[in-house]
Structures are given as C-alpha cells and as structure tokens.
C-alpha cells in the first residue's frame, strides 16, 4: 500500500496501462502539459505516436476515438472539462453509444473518455457541469465515478482493459485528496459499490466525490445517535443495485447524494429503482440531495449552497429517521 | 498528384462489374421497397456508382472506408457481400449487422467497412480515427471517407482536414457532389466551391466528373497512393447526380417537388454505367454481348441474394441484450 | 372545434404565430419542403427572410438560435430528427440552457426548438432517440411533449410566445393522429398535465405519445375491473407534479410510461419525485414502463417489443393492484 | 477591401485610452488574483489590447460582439463599464452579470456585448445568429466575433463562414492569433495559414500585425464597412501574443513550462501600447505628458472601480431562482 493523491493514482494507472499494452493510445487537448496533472509525463515516456496533443475540435475527437478503437486500438480520450463533452456529444451519443448494436456486435469498442466534472470552485456555468445523467441515458456507455485514489486506479485500469466505452469522470478540484492504493496491479471491477460505513438506521448512497460529505454527514448523524450506512456507487453504469437494495432491506430508509442537477439525475434513477424494487422495505420517503435545476453561478456564496453538503445530507437523513 | 497508371483490362472489367452490381442491387431494393417488402427506408445511390467503384478499386480489405446514409454502393464496392447486405436491409438475422442496422448502417469491419452512417458528417471523425490507427500500424493502410456535398458544410469536415494535414494522416476525403443536400439544391446551401476548402490546409484537391468512372479511378489512384506513401490527406470532389429521390419513400410523403424531371433526364443521358460500357466497347476491352453476360450473372447474384434474404429468419428479439455491450448486460 | 391531424395543428399554429408577430423567424434544414410536413408553406407565405432553409451544420444552428434570440428575435429552430440535437448539443447545453443565468438575467431567450423523436418505424438507432432526459437535466430548457392536436397547437403557441428556450418534441411518425382543436387562439400553458381518464385504482402517467397506448391499457384494465387514471404530462419541464400527486393520493399506485431509455428517464424522475413527496400515499411499488437501455434496432420484430405497449402497461398496473 | 480613412486625432486618442484602460484594469486583476481577492481565475488579455481597441473603435452600441474566455479587453473596448466588469469578477451583486458569470462570462447586452464565453468557439454560432438578426433589422448593424487561433480549429468556424457567405450576413470574424492554443504553440495544432481558410468561401481575408493598433484599426474599418454595406462577411487575422499565462493561475498548478522567457521578452519589446504611444508622440498627436495624464486618470478609474467592487455586497443566494428562466421557477 502507498498513500497517493488521487490525481497521482490516475497518472500511475495510465502509465502502467500504457506500459502494459502498447496498443493503448491517448489523445486530447494539451495532454502533454496536462491541465489537471493526470496525464503528466506520458508524452515523454510513450512518445508522440501514442500520446498526442490535439487541436481544439471535440466533435472530431470523439469521432476519432470511435474510429481508432474500431480499427483496433485501445483509446483513451481526454476531454478536460465535462462541459466539453457536449461539444463532442454527437459522436458520443450517435456513434460511440450505438455503433456496436447498429453493426450487430461486429466490434468491441475499447474507449475510455476522461473528463473532470462538478462545481464548487467558481469556474461558473460552462466549467462545472456534472454530465453523467445524459451519459447514463444513452445506454451504451459505462460511467465510472471514483472517489478514492484506490478506486481511481482500479476503475481506470478496468476501463482501459475493458472492451466497452467508459466515461471515467474525475471530480474537479478534488484530485488532491489522498488515500491508500494497493500495490501491484490493482483492478476494481465496474458495477461493485463500496460500503464505506455500516449502519442500520438509514442508507446514504453517494455518487463520486459526494462520498466525503456523505461520510461526514454520517459521522454527524452518529453523534445524534443515528447510524447511517454509506454506499459509494463507484460506477453508475453498471449500477450495483444489489448492494443498495440489501442495505435498504436493513435500514428501510434511503437518501441519495448526487452533485448532478436534480431532474433526471443519477439520484432520481437510483430512487426510482428502489421505489420499485425495494418498495416493501421502505419505511420512509426516498430523499435526494442534489443540485437544484440551476446552472452553476460564479459567486462562491451563491454556488456553495447549491451543492450537497454534510448539513443538507444529515438533515435529509435525520428527517427520515425521525418521521 | 498524378494517377499511378491507367486501369488494366482486368481493372476496367472489375469497375464495370462493380457498378453494375450496385445498380442491379439497388434497382431491386427500389422494387422491393415500393412493394412494401422492406421494413425501413432506403437512400439509393443510383447514378453515382462510378464514385464508389472508382475509389474502392484502389483499396484492400485492410483499408478502411466510412460511408453515409447512401451507403450501399460503398459497401458493395469495398467488397461487402450482397447477400449479407440485402438480408440486413430486410431486417434479417443473416444480415451483415444481424438486422440491427438496416440500410443506413451497413458495415463489415472484416472488409474495412466501418459503416454507413445516418448522421450527416458522422463518418468524418471516425475516418480520422481509423487513419490515425492506420498511421500507427505503419503498414501502408489508408482510410477513406465518403461524404456528400451537404456533409461538407458540417464543421467536422474542416476539423478533419486540420487534424489530417497536421499529422499527415493517410486520409482520403471523397466528396460526392450529387446536386442536393437532402431536398435543397446544393448551391442554395453551399458557399463557394467545396474543392477550394482543402487548399488552406495544403491538402491536394482534385475535381472530377463523378459520372466518368475512369476519371474517378485516376483521381482516386493518385489520392490513395499519396496517402499510402505517407504524404498525408487528399481530397477528391466528384460531381455526379442522384437520379432517384433523396429517400426512396419521399414520393409518398413529400408535399412538393424540388427538381424538374428534365434535369433527371439530362443526367440519365450521362449515366455512368452506359458511359463506361461505351468506352470499354470502343476500346475493344469487351463487347456488348460480354457486358450482357456480365449483367445476367449479376442479376442472378442479386436474385439469389434476395431469395436468401427473404428466406432468412428474423433476428431473435433477445439478440439486443448482447449487442449494446461486449460481454456485459445493458 | 375542427378535427385536424396533429401535424396540421402544428402547421396551423406556426402559421398563426408567424402571422401574429413578425419578429418570429424560423430556420432549419429543408424547412421549405418540410420532412414531416409541419413547416410546409411557411416559406411561401412569410418569405425567405423569415423562413430559411439552412445548410447542414447543427452546431452552428443551435448557436444561431441563441444569438438571434439574444438580438431580439423570436426564434423557431427546426432540428428534424431528435438525434441531430446531439450534433448541435454544445450550444444547447453550454449556451441556450445557461446564458440567462450566466449573464445575470440580462436577457430573455425566446427560442423554440422543434424535433421529431422516438422509434417504432425501423429508422434504426440514429433516427429514433427520445432525447428529453438529457434536456431535462440541463436545467434551463423547457420541454413540451404534446400528444393531441389540441395540445400540439396550444403548447406550440405558448412556447413561441414564451420567453424561455423550449424544446417542442413531436412524436415521430405519429403526426397523422387526428383530434379536435379548439377554434380561435388556443393556448395551453406549460406545466399543466391533463387527466385523460379518471379512475381510482391506479395512476398511469404517460409522457408524450405514450398517451394512446396508456389509454388503451386503461381500457383493457377496466375490462378486468381495474379503474386507471391516466395523466398525460404534456410538458416535462415544467412538470405538473401536483396533478400527479393528487392522483396518487387517490389511487395509491403509480405506473409511469415513457418511451425514453430507462436509465435517468423522465419516468425515473417522476417515480423519484413521487417516492419522496407522495411516499405515504403509496400502497405499492412505483413501476416504470420504458425502453430498456438499448439503442433502437432496425428489425421491426426486435424494435417493437422494446417500446411500451398497452400489454406491458396493463400488466405493470395489474401487478400493482393485485399485489 | 481598403480602410475608409485613417484615424482622426480624436480616434487616435480614443484608441490609446481604450488600450490603456484594458491594460490597467488587467494589471489590477492580475494583482488581485495573486493576492487571492478573486473567487475565480482570469485569462488576461495583456499584450493583445490593440486588437479589441482597433476593432471596437468602429462599432456602435447596437452592433454586436461575441467574445472569448479572454474577454475583458473586448468588453471594455466595446464600451462596457469597468466598474460593473470588475465587480463581476469579484463575484458581487453589482457585477454586470450580478456575480453569476465571472471573468469568463462578462456580457452587457445593452452595449451589444453578447458575452465572453468559456466554450472555445462558443461565440461563433451566436454571432452568426446576431448577424442574422442584424440583417433582418436592416439598419446597418454588424456582428463581430472575436476568437482565438485555437478556436479557428473548431468546425463552427467553417460552418459560420459558409452560412455567412451564403446569406451575405453582416458578420466580421476577428481571429486573434496569439501564439497559443491554451498551452500548445499554435503551429503544433494548426495546419496551414488560418487566413487562407476564408478564401474558399470568397470571404475577404486580411492579415495584420495585431500589435499595431493602427493596422488593426484600418483592417477592421474595411471589414466593418464591408459588412455595413451589405457585402457580407469578412475575416481579419491579427497576429499578436499573450504575454501572460493562458490562465493567470497556471503558475500554481502547471507541472511544466511551455515557452521560453526570451520569447515573452521579445514580444514585450513589441508592446502595442508603447508602440502606439510612440507613434502618437512622433506624429505630434499628443505628448508623453499627456499620455501620462491619461494614464493617471485611467488608474483612478480602475482604483475607483476596484473600491466599488470590493465594497459591493455579494449576491443573494436566492437570486439564482429568478435567473434560469424568465418569469418561471427553475
Ligand atoms: C446530423 C444530421 N443532420 C441532418 C440529417 C438529415 N439528412 C439526411 S441526408 C441529408 C442530406 C445529406 O446531403 P449530402 O451530404 O449531400 O448527401 P446526399 O444525400 O446528397 O448523398 C440530411 C440533411 C442527418 N441525417 N444528420
Ligand atoms: C470547447 C472547449 N474546449 C476546450 C476548452 C479549454 N480551453 C480553454 S481556452 C483554450 C485555448 C483557446 O485557444 P485560443 O482560441 O487560441 O484562445 P487564447 O486562449 O489563445 O486566447 C482551451 C483549449 C474550452 N474552454 N472549450
Ligand atoms: Mg448531396
Ligand atoms: Mg490563441
């Protein structure tokens, strides 16, 4: 085990996978100098054939990812900020998510798309979207939202070695968070949620970086005598509904914490699944702690309260238990 | 860029055979469509056959092509199996895409056919990616993108030229200027000459009569060769005409017309197949009788393919479960 | 009242609104000849200044809609098939949905985007998406999904006269459905669901053109002695949760019928809202009848069963009532 | 296209004043950023002032401009209020966007400033729409799009040229070639000369020294005039240099460097403000003392604006409720 910053865990995982398989290639805007630090050093190490700085042309980049993967490479496409996914959304939604089905399963599509997501740092509306709801609805796209350095490494390696398109979303500005990463070739399968804390009174499901505020809320709740179970989704597609359902079977109460806008959020979807499949276990309403249906404002005092925080999460959970 | 050589006798006959195959297949698709035998619509390539045939004549199985909604011709010219294509368009399990794609998505990766595409311009970025892969393989493969004059107005066209020129990708851009961008006459939606657009990227650009199979063959020969030698992208504008509707079903649902019949008749007189036949006969490469025999053989192939398609089973509704993801439930 | 085909109701509403306000302009690919028939005759009537056939360049078209609206026009942008929304998604997600907030509310953005959606006609994966989940999650976009000629007219007029961006989605291939349209200037406010049928045993909420199969399911259920209430959302943003909640308060059971793919669908969101806000009224799980997380296949025998149909809807409702 | 005339004395002084204002505002933003006074990052325009000033000199309040992430200069040159801009960047209620947009989104519709834009190329389509509106108004308004050399690789650039040329829109495209596309030297991501791209659309293209305010002024004069007369789009490539980082915060988080200091020093010697000052003094349009006085006045304005910004209240967190929609809850 080694303690690493999350962004370092990503960088190490990229290095190891590119070392391991020479058909892994990576491209994106300024991946050489690396805006977030996740791709630092790769160009020097693997050379300009396998690591390419691209022009700014997201529409073509997402198409290229499809084409290069269809032609036999394992592609890593770095899209920088999540909002730029929209700029390249055509080939994501119309090609990447559909081409395997449309062609009768002729090909696998080993594509990993990396992008930073989320607000909280006054980057304003065009640099702070949380785009997984749209991706989840496409059907043909896996979505990974690691919250710890270990998962960051393990999920990224799985995504790169996998044979389906996977969006690997890094929580913006949270790359500095530190944690243990297992030594050796650490892989984390897609579709396995983590129980970060056990408790019998209420289940708190967190998406991505919401894990930390959720854990903090759980600690605050414990001080009030409420024991919360915290489940970190790790991946949204595939979604580990079994772990969530098993927890709800014990607690009878669910709060989903998601930094996406509320309408059609991951939280909505998880709530809907539980309201159907675990209805008889539920003893209280299913609560969502999300971002209101608002684009991120710049002023920090306006932006901050829009994001889920330990207080909102704890309050939601407490209401359920006390009801 | 100059063509590497003129077509050989064998190549001439192959050209004609490919064009005739495309034509006969599509005439049959036309009939089957109007007879209500096809589940979806078809965008026919009739009149444009010289382009697909003239370009694909230079390609190997491991070269890549990306195509459009009007993609039957490219599929067949690149060596795709007519049976598998027709079965696909009938929505059958034996279709090249197991009935999941239909007319707009015929693809055969084993022959380098990355697929027809229902998104105008959708093939462009994909071809750039395939060209990147080809460059990395370093075995002289090329990637060819077929797209229409309408698609040339999508920004990805410029983006692809920039990336392609910058990285010297083995990318061949073939713009089929068939007079229409859907129902709009091309000049009502396109400023300037599309063939001028590559110049700013120092990409060689050639304009040819797209109904002259030999001219297309020669221009494509030069472009493909340029790419194979590692000299980067090139562009060919082939002027042609779609003598059928944008979509074969349009006669049933369009509220008006958008061209004169005389225009169609004009272009029918410039039919690329008749033209090539005439040239071949004039040059003593074959006789009209031989062409007739070739045609009959092709008609038999088409007949067989259609019989095969009709006799094939529909796909299992459960098939989709395995198709969204590889080895993963959807 | 006059009986009209749905597409005719749209065409009439467009004509009337363009007649009424000369600052209404319309553009899109082939709006002159009109793929679906909805914009037929407008160019002849209003001339090439106000009605423009455009080149194929969706990325610019959606940006143009924003710019022309910001500069004082009421814009109608026709995007033809919903999948092409993805091609123009950048300016939709990054500009249209955000520019009012980002600029501190300096402007209104009177934009109506028209597109046909949905499968069922072997148009395959790239011509049959149901895109409202992604739009709903953006926050700054209204979404109208009319299901009758009267609503088609009324909602379109409201959208055009409104001052916020509205996606007006026509159910593909269902423009031939006929119905009465009130005479005169018929407006239908956004955010008012319609109760299409009353019943006390179960609430069936339908989105857009799912209204008809849902009504059919209700009739089949009635034959089995189950009285279903059918609520047609009419608009997804704003969503009339009050009407749905009031119905669930009476019936205690909810099925949501949506032709979007399931994950993060409108159905998910409605289910989530009810699982929170009407939890204590619920007597049974909340069911969703949606399209599985699969891109539309071409073969009709494979495509058809993916779509919600009266049998699936009735079966879902019956299970709830019999449980 | 030739400029309509040379700048008058008044116009010369206005040019200089605008450039100085931009410079002094940004120097202060730089200091405030590094002092931790600003909630978000800033992309400084220092070194490029001649472009915004030279272009906007020809625009009226009812002409439109769209700008970029590097948009302070365009905002100020188009007549935006420095107080309201600085307050915005401080995230205050008195900001031009009520603190909702910050540095990357400064907009003032009442002055025709459609907004800075955090999406590279995001302003292009918007400007085409504004140009369409201007054409329909038929009052001689124009719409100007500022964008970078990096943005010129986004497909919307080509799309806009096609639509603009086709419809003869009053559209002026100003590409500021400042040497970098984010951290990539321009020539590592751009094929050919961007100024050649408009040619295929028959759009007049002019390349100017973007650090020469008078050259920019003249080229913009011709381009704006061309648009006002209904002759359609034109394009100006202004070569300049950003002497500051891509983002002022980069020194704190970039793991490496991407240019030599000597390059920066080279360009500092070509500073557009010093250069214009020298010319004005040489031409006896003003004295160095007068420039000094102008500068002091500007520094006072900046000081006042910053004091205003700092003293202003933060927005109410509830404000967002009214801002997503007009007259509708979010
Ligand atoms: C992104 C996108 N926009 C619009 C359409 C609708 N559409 C289908 S084909 C077509 C015209 C294409 O014209 P062109 O590229 O010249 O090809 P052609 O049909 O002439 O072969 C249009 C607008 C589409 N399929 N995809
Ligand atoms: C669509 C999109 N892609 C990428 C980025 C990240 N980014 C911000 S500025 C920039 C470089 C822009 O270069 P240029 O257009 O030359 O403008 P400059 O920064 O030089 O003024 C990039 C890549 C973005 N903001 N938007
Ligand atoms: Mg065409
Ligand atoms: Mg630049």
Is D138 part of the contact surface with chain C (CB cutoff 8 Å)? no
Q: Is the confidence at residue B6, as pLDDT, over 90?
A: no
CA pair distance B138, B188, nearest whole angstrom: 42
Rounded to an integer, what is the distance from CA B195 to the centroid of its chain? 19
What are the backbone dihedrals phi and psi of residue B266, each rounded to the nearest 5 degrees, phi first? -50, -50
pLDDT category, D151, cuts 50, 70, 90?
Answer: very high
Q: How far is CA C230 from the centre of its chain?
A: 17
- The mean per-residue pLDDT over the stretch B181-203 comes to 98
Q: Is C58 in the pocket of ligand 1 (CB under 6 A)?
A: yes
Q: Which residues of D touch A295 (CB under 8 A)?
A: 324
D119–A53: do the CB atoms touch at under 8 Å? no
> What is the torsional sign of CA D215, D217, D219, D221?
negative
Distance in Å from the first CA to the final CA of chain A: 43
Q: Are C273 and C267 in contact (CB under 8 A)?
A: no
Would an 8 Å CB–CB cutoff place A172 in contact with chain B?
no
- By C-alpha distance, which of C250, C215, C252, C217 is closest to C231? C215
Residues with Cβ < 8 Å from D301, sequence gap 6 or more? D21, D24, D82
CA dist list (Å): B184 to B178, C52, D65: 11, 11, 31
Residues of chain A predicted below pLDDT 50: none
- Structural domain spans, chain D: 9-254
What pLDDT, on a 0 to 100 scale, did the predictor assign at position C1?
85
Extract the tokens encoding A298. 């710049």
Ligand nearest to the Cα of D146, by number? 2
Per-residue pLDDT at C323:
77
Which residue ranges make up each domain of chain A?
Answer: 2-181, 194-322
| Min Cα–Cα distance to chain D from A241, Å | 30
Q: Which among B114, B8, B110, B102 is positioned nearest to B58, based on CA atoms?
A: B8
CA distance A40 to C158: 52
Which pair of structure tokens corresponds to residue C203?
């609430």
CA gap A21, A163 in Å, rounded? 14
Handedness of CA D118, D124, D127, D129 (dihedral sign): negative
Confidence at D1, pLDDT banded by 50, 70, 90: low
Cα–chain center distance at D280: 23
- Which residue's alpha carbon is at the smallest distance from atom 6 of ligand 1? B120
Question: How many whole angstroms separate alpha carbon A119 and alpha carbon B88?
Answer: 46
Quickly count: other Cβ atoms within 10 Å of residue C297's Cβ. Answer: 31
Q: How far apart (Å, rounded) are the C-alpha atoms in residues C88 and D299?
A: 44
The mean pLDDT of chain C is: 98
Nearest-CB residue to A298 (from D91, D184, D324): D91
In a mutational test of the C interface, the residue from A81, A137, A320 whose CB has the highest number of chain C CBs within 10 Å is A137
Within 8 A by CB and 6+ apart from D237, the residues are D175, D177, D193, D194, D195, D205, D206, D207, D208
- CATH T-level assignment (fold) for domain D9-254: Rossmann fold (3.40.50)
Q: Do D130 and C54 touch (CB under 8 A)?
A: no
Q: Are A125 and C101 an interchain contact pair (Cβ–Cβ within 8 Å)?
A: yes
Within chain B, residue ranges assigned H as helices are: 9-34, 49-56, 72-77, 82-89, 122-137, 155-167, 213-228, 250-253, 261-268, 272-282, 288-311, 320-323
Confidence class for position B300, pLDDT limits 50, 70, 90: very high
Question: Which chain D residues touch B159 with a CB distance below 8 Å?
Answer: 153-155
| CB contact D161 to B (< 8 Å) | yes
Average pLDDT over residues D98-104: 98
Given this model, what pLDDT does residue C308 score? 98
Q: Which residues contact C274 (CB under 8 A, 6 or more apart)?
A: A275, C244, C245, C248, C254, C282, C286
CA atoms of B179 and D93, how far apart (whole Å)? 55
Query: Which of the residues A78, A127, A186, A280 is marked catalytic?
Result: A127
- The bridge status of strand B180-181 relative to strand B184-185 is antiparallel
pLDDT of residue B4: 64
Q: Mutual orientation of helices A266-277 and C266-277 as an angle, nearest 10°?
A: 70
Choose among D189, D191, D201: nearest Cβ to B201. D191
A202 phi and psi angles, rounded to 5 deg: -160, 145
Q: What is the pLDDT of residue D3?
A: 62
Which regions of D44-169 does DSSP assign to beta strands (E)?
A: 64-66, 113-115, 143-148
Average pLDDT over residues C56-78: 98
Q: Is C89 in the pocket of ligand 1 (CB under 6 A)?
A: no
Task: Give the CA count within 13 Å in the CB-facing half-sphere of B321.
Answer: 5
Dihedral class, residue B254 (left if φ above 0, else alpha if ψ from -120 to 50, else beta)? beta
Interatomic CA distance for residues D295 and D286, integer angstroms: 13
Q: Are C308 and C290 in contact (CB under 8 A)?
A: yes
* Residues A89 and C129: beta-carbon distance below 8 Å: no
Element (H, E) at C249: helix C241-251
**Given this model, what pLDDT does residue D2 score?**
66
Whether residue B328 has pLDDT greater than 90:
yes
Query: What pLDDT score does D5 carry?
Result: 77
ipTM of the complex: 0.98
Contact criterion met (CB below 8 Å) for D77 and D217:
no
pLDDT digits (tens, 9 = 90+) for D116-139: 999 999 999 999 999 999 999 999
What CA–CA distances, in Å, run from B252 to B256, C35, C36, C42, C295? 10, 11, 12, 21, 27
Calpha distance A244→A257 (Å, rounded): 13
Q: Does C68 touch chain D (CB under 8 A)?
A: yes
C78 is catalytic: no
Which residue ranges have their beta carbon within 6 Å of ligand 2? A 29, 56, 58, 80, 84, 87; D 68-70, 118-120, 148-151, 178, 180-182, 246
Please give the distance of CA C268 from its chain centroid, rounded to a whole number: 16
Q: Are B248 and B30 in contact (CB under 8 A)?
A: yes
Q: What pTM was estimated for this model as a whole?
A: 0.98
Q: Cα-flanking dihedrals φ and ψ of residue D143, to 5°?
A: -125, 125
Taking the C-alpha atoms of residue C137 and residue A129, their distance in angstroms, rounded to an integer, is 10
Mean pLDDT, all residues of chain D: 97
d(CA C26, CA C20): 14
pLDDT at B3: 62
Contact D122, D147 (CB under 8 A): no
Mean pLDDT of C55-84: 98
Q: How many whole angstroms separate alpha carbon A8 and alpha carbon A152? A: 9
Helix (H, G, I), strand (E, B) or coil at D141: coil
Q: Cis omega (within 30 of 0) on the bond before C226?
A: no
For C207-259, the pLDDT digits (tens) are 999 999 999 999 999 999 999 999 999 999 999 999 999 999 999 999 999 99
Q: Is the omega angle on the peptide bond into residue A238 within 30 degrees of 0, that is, cis?
A: yes
For chain B, give the mean pLDDT.
97
- Let me know if domain C194-322 sits in CATH 3.40.50.920: yes
What is the rounded distance in angstroms from the CA atom of residue B90 to the CA atom of residue B211? 29
Rounded to 10°, the helix C42-50/C6-20 angle is 40
CATH of C2-181, one of 3.20.20.80, 3.40.50.300, 3.40.50.720, 3.40.50.970: 3.40.50.970
Question: Which of C78, C127, C186, C280 is an active site residue?
Answer: C127
Q: Please report where in the chains the tokens 């769209």 appear, as a residue.
A: D66
CA-to-CA distance for A212 and A221, rounded, in angstroms? 14
Which tokens in the block code for residue B254? 């369009």
- D70 C-alpha vs ligand 2 centroid, how far in Å? 9
pLDDT at res. B2: 66
Instruction: For residue D269, count CB atoms less than 10 angstroms from its CB and return exposed for 0-12, middle for 13-18, buried for 19 or more.
Output: exposed
C125 to chain B, any CB pair closer than 8 A? The answer is yes
């Amino acid at each position: 085990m080694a303690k690493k910053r999350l962004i370092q865990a990503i960088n190490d995982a990229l290095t190891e996978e590119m070392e391991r398989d020479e058909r892994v290639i990576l491209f994106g805007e300024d991946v050489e100098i690396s805006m977030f630090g996740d791709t630092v050093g790769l160009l020097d190490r693997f050379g300009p054939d396998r690591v390419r700085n691209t022009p700014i042309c997201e529409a073509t980049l997402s198409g290229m990812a499809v084409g290069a993967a269809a032609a036999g490479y394992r592609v890593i496409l770095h899209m920088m900020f999540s909002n730029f996914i929209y700029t390249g959304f055509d080939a994501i939604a119309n090609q990447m998510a559909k081409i395997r089905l449309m062609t009768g399963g002729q090909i696998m599509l080993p594509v990993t798309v990396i992008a930073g997501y989320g607000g909280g740092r006054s980057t304003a509306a065009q640099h702070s979207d949380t785009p997984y709801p749209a991706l989840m609805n496409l059907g043909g796209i896996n979505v990974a939202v690691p919250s710890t350095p270990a998962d960051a490494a393990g999920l990224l390696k799985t995504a790169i070695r996998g044979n389906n398109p996977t969006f690997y979303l890094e929580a913006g500005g949270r790359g500095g968070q530190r944690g243990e990463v297992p030594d050796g070739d650490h892989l984390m399968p897609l579709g396995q949620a983590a129980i970060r804390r056990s408790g019998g009174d209420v289940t708190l499901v967190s998406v991505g970086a919401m894990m930390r505020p959720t854990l903090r809320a759980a600690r605050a709740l414990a001080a009030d005598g409420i024991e919360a179970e915290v489940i970190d989704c790790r991946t949204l597609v595939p979604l580990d509904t079994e772990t969530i359902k098993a927890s709800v079977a014990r607690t009878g109460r669910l709060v989903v914490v998601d930094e996406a806008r509320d309408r059609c959020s991951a939280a909505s979807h998880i709530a809907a699944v539980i309201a159907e499949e675990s209805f008889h276990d539920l003893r209280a309403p299913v609560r969502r702690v999300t971002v209101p249906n608002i684009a991120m404002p710049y002023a920090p005092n306006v932006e901050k309260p829009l994001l889920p925080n330990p207080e909102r999460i704890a309050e939601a959970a407490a209401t359920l238990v006390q009801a | 860029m100059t063509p590497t050589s003129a077509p050989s006798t064998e190549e001439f006959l192959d050209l004609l055979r490919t064009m005739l195959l495309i034509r006969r297949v599509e005439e049959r698709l036309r009939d089957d469509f109007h007879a209500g035998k096809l589940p979806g619509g078809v965008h026919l390539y009739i009149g444009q056959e010289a382009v697909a045939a003239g370009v694909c004549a230079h390609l190997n199985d491991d070269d890549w092509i990306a195509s459009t909604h009007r993609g039957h011709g490219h599929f067949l010219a690149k060596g795709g199996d007519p049976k598998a294509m027709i079965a696909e368009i009938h929505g059958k399990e034996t279709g090249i895409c197991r009935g999941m794609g239909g007319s707009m998505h015929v693809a055969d990766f084993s022959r380098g056919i990355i697929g027809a595409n229902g998104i105008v311009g959708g093939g462009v970025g994909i071809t750039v990616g395939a060209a990147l892969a080809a460059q990395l393989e370093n075995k002289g493969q090329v990637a060819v993108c077929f797209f229409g004059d309408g698609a040339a107005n999508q920004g990805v066209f410029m983006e692809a030229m920039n990336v392609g020129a910058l990285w010297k990708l083995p990318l061949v851009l073939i713009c089929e200027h068939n007079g229409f961008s859907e129902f709009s006459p091309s000049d009502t939606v396109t400023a300037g000459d599309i063939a001028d657009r590559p110049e700013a990227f120092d990409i060689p650009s050639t304009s040819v009569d797209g109904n002259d199979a030999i001219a297309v063959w020669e221009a494509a020969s030069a472009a493909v060769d340029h790419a194979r030698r590692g000299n980067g992208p090139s562009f060919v504008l082939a002027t042609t005409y779609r003598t059928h509707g944008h979509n074969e079903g349009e006669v049933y649902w369009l509220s008006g017309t958008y061209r004169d019949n005389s225009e169609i008749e004009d272009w029918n007189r410039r039919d690329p197949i008749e033209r090539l036949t005439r040239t071949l006969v004039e040059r003593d490469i074959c006789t009209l009788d031989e062409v007739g025999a070739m045609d009959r053989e092709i008609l038999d192939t088409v007949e067989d393919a259609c019989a095969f398609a009709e006799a094939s089973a529909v796909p299992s509704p459960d098939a989709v479960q395995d198709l969204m993801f590889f080895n993963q439930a959807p």
